[in-house]
């Protein structure tokens, strides 16, 4: 548990999902669903591959907990009809002009719109509750699913840059920008 309970991110519910801070109880399902090369390959090369048996536990105790709530927030994603299985994760952080949000989703849940649903809720939280004026995103040039999520949530492509991913054959990231005003206009137009 964190020293300061108030620094935990809030729990959110969307139409089909629960977004909440993960706990040690969630680590086994997180390890199973994250330890998949197709899930990990487009993440930054700081993620090890092959993924270690205790990788999620190490991330939880040594990276997530020390930063949680200090300009960094992480939510586990859970289906409302299966709230005991971690099917993905989404992060939000300040102090970056490169990326302010990252995510992963278990392969068995790809193509169902879950990550768009989660990203929409986190965008709302960033702009409405945390006072962000702009969010920057990035994704591997070959990660078409992540590309579509950004397009479906109103972000605009602002270019590319060199980047190292787990997949050693991918060397470039597409960069995206979403301003608070553009997010509001996008949401108003989607209604």
Report all structural domains of the chain as residue ranges with CATH numbers, in order of start.
5-190 (3.40.630.30)
**Residue 7: which pLDDT band, with cuts at 50, 70 and 90?**
confident
Is the full-model pTM beyond 0.85? Answer: yes
Strands (E), the chain: 12-13, 17-20, 72-79, 88-93, 101-105, 134-140, 156-162, 172-179
pLDDT of 98 reads 86
pLDDT of 1 reads 31
Contacts of 136 (CB under 8 A, 6+ apart): 96, 97, 98, 99, 100, 175, 176, 177, 178
pLDDT of 5 reads 39
Strands 72-79 and 101-105: unpaired
The answer, yes or no, to whether residue 19 has pLDDT greater than 70, is yes
Residue 109's closest CA among 87, 81, 125, 92? Answer: 87
The strand order across the sheet containing 101-105 reads 12-13, 17-20, 72-79, 88-93, 101-105
């Amino acid at each position: 548990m964190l020293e300061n309970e108030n620094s935990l991110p809030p729990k959110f519910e969307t139409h089909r999902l629960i977004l909440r801070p993960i706990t040690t109880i969630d680590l086994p399902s997180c390890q199973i669903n994250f330890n998949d090369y197709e899930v990990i390959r487009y993440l930054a090369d700081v993620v090890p591959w092959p993924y270690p048996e205790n990788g999620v536990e190490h991330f939880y105790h040594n990276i997530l907990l020390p930063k949680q709530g200090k300009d960094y927030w992480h939510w586990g994603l859970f289906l409302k009809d299966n709230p005991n299985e971690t099917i993905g994760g989404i992060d939000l952080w300040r102090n970056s002009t490169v990326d302010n949000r990252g995510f992963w989703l278990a392969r068995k849940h790809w193509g169902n719109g879950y990550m768009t649903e989660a990203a929409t809720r986190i965008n709302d939280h960033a702009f409405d509750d945390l006072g962000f004026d702009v969010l920057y995103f990035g994704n591997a040039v070959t990660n078409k699913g992540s590309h579509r999520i950004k397009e479906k949530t109103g972000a605009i492509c602002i270019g590319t840059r060199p980047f190292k991913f787990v997949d050693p054959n991918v060397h470039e990231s597409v960069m995206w920008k979403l301003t608070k005003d553009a997010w509001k206009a996008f949401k108003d137009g989607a209604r």
